[in-house]
Amino acid sequence: MSPLVLLLAVHLGPIAPGAPARQPQLAANGSSVGVAFGAGNAIYYSASPDGGSTFSAPVKVAEAGSLMLGRHRGPRIAAMGNSIVITAVMGPPVAAGLHVPARSPGGDLVSWHSTDGGKTWSDGALVNDVPAAANEGLHALGSDGHGKIFAAWLDKRSGHGTRLYGASSTNGITWSKNVLIYESPDGTICECCHPSVGIDSKGQIVVMWRNALGGNRDLYLARSADGVKFSKAEKLGTGSWKLNACPMDGGGIAISGDRIVTAWRREHDLFLASPGGAETRLGSGMDVGIAGDARGVYAIWSSPSGIQAATAGKAPVTLAASGAFPTIVALADGRVLAAWEEDGKISIQPVR
């Protein structure tokens, strides 16, 4: 595979003084790309019809009394056909017509749907079916691109430790009954690391999270054909991270052809791993993001020298000398697009 090639960046924001643009997430459908991000207590969306060369002025999706942002909290986005779905964890009062139960203190996972390229958005819809169950603010959203959507989040409905829950949708407006994906026999999964969701070409849902088991904070994965029953949890990699703390760094999942590839952090190093296989060291750093297509896997992360990106097996390149919380997406035509926080703006840059 050819090495990454650096191209000109696009910048979005800041939205307003004191409201830096934060926590970008990318989704692509053909040559159309969308980016969702937070600023203050509002969610914004910007679209590119030309594979990331230009982006529209950001449109406000929704605003609430509080929006979960920072350390991988913030909105998630999925594209499917002509539709776009955005999810976020927000506190009341939630705008755009959503009626949160009065007993809820906030911390609900909410979804919005657009069918006109992100110009207008639906009212918000609750995803969690127990009020405030998602109040840790850490969640993931995945789509097969055709009408199968799955959300997963850290859930505290039991009042005794953190569990992993999920729900399915076909439109981002109505959601299934919540399902328990995993609960640790030690009483809680890692309390502050975001989960990840991928859906493969056969419609299999794959969910990854950081566990808290036997004193270790390792990454685990479970699969489901229907979004209701999940397989036994599978540990990723052969090593372990003995840690009595939360690194607040959950990694990501990519689908490359028929292969599931995960990326995650252990101590100061980042690794790639497929289920059942040993991990391969990617580099040093944190906050790794990953994307994949039939051509291969692409990773991006933060390091002391800046934002780094690489194709597996290739030497990483520096995209920016500063920045944080990068994300990456592969386009159907072979291009790869990255985004990250930088000086109150969202920087978006094609890297191939």
> What CATH number is attached to the domain comprising 93?
2.120.10.10
Q: What is the mean pLDDT of residues 282-293?
A: 96
Question: In the chain, pLDDT over 90 holds for what percent of residues?
Answer: 82
Residue 311: the pLDDT is 80
| β partners of residue 194 | none
Give the CA angle between residues 258, 310, 204 to the nearest 5°. 20
Query: pLDDT band for position 313 (50/70/90)?
Result: low
**Exposed (0-12), middle (13-18) or buried (19+): which is 3, by Cβ within 10 Å?**
exposed
Question: In the chain, pLDDT over 70 holds for what percent of residues?
Answer: 93
Identify the residue with better confidence: 49 or 97.
49
Residue 96 identity: A
pLDDT in tens, 103-152: 445 699 999 999 999 999 999 999 999 999 999 999 999 999 888 999 99
pLDDT in tens, 139-165: 999 999 888 999 999 999 998 999 999
- Asked, for residue 262, whether it belongs to a domain, the answer is yes
- Asked, for residue 186, whether it belongs to a domain, the answer is yes
pLDDT in tens, 60-92: 999 988 899 999 999 999 998 889 999 999 987
Judged against a pLDDT cut of 60, whether residue 50 lies above it is answered with yes
Q: What is the mean pLDDT of residues 4-10?
A: 61
Residue 64: the pLDDT is 86
Residue 81: the pLDDT is 80
Separation between Cα atoms, residue 4 and residue 315, nearest integer Å: 9
- Asked, for residue 121, whether it belongs to a domain, the answer is yes
- Asked, for residue 15, whether it belongs to a domain, the answer is no
Which residue range forms the structural domain that includes residue 28? Answer: 22-273
Query: pLDDT band for position 93 (50/70/90)?
Result: low
Residue 198: the pLDDT is 97
Whole-angstrom Cα Rg for the chain: 18
Separation between Cα atoms, residue 59 and residue 61, nearest integer Å: 6
Round the average pLDDT of the chain to a whole number and report it: 92
Q: What is the mean pLDDT of residues 15-40?
A: 94
- Asked, for residue 160, whether it belongs to a domain, the answer is yes
Helix, strand and coil percent figures for the chain, each rounded to 5:
0, 50, 50
Q: Which of 6-20, 137-151, 183-197, 254-268 has the weakest average pLDDT?
A: 6-20
Residue 211: the pLDDT is 98
- Asked, for residue 101, whether it belongs to a domain, the answer is yes
**Exposed (0-12), middle (13-18) or buried (19+): which is 17, by Cβ within 10 Å?**
exposed
Query: pLDDT band for position 257 (50/70/90)?
Result: confident
Query: pLDDT band for position 265 (50/70/90)?
Result: very high
Q: What is the mean pLDDT of residues 269-277?
A: 97
Identify the sign of the CA torsion 132, 137, 139, 145: positive
Number of domains in the chain: 1
Would the pTM of this model clear 0.85, i.e. be above it? yes
Identify the residue with better confidence: 95 or 22.
22
- Asked, for residue 88, whether it belongs to a domain, the answer is yes
pLDDT in tens, 200-219: 989 999 999 999 999 999 99
Residue 7: the pLDDT is 52
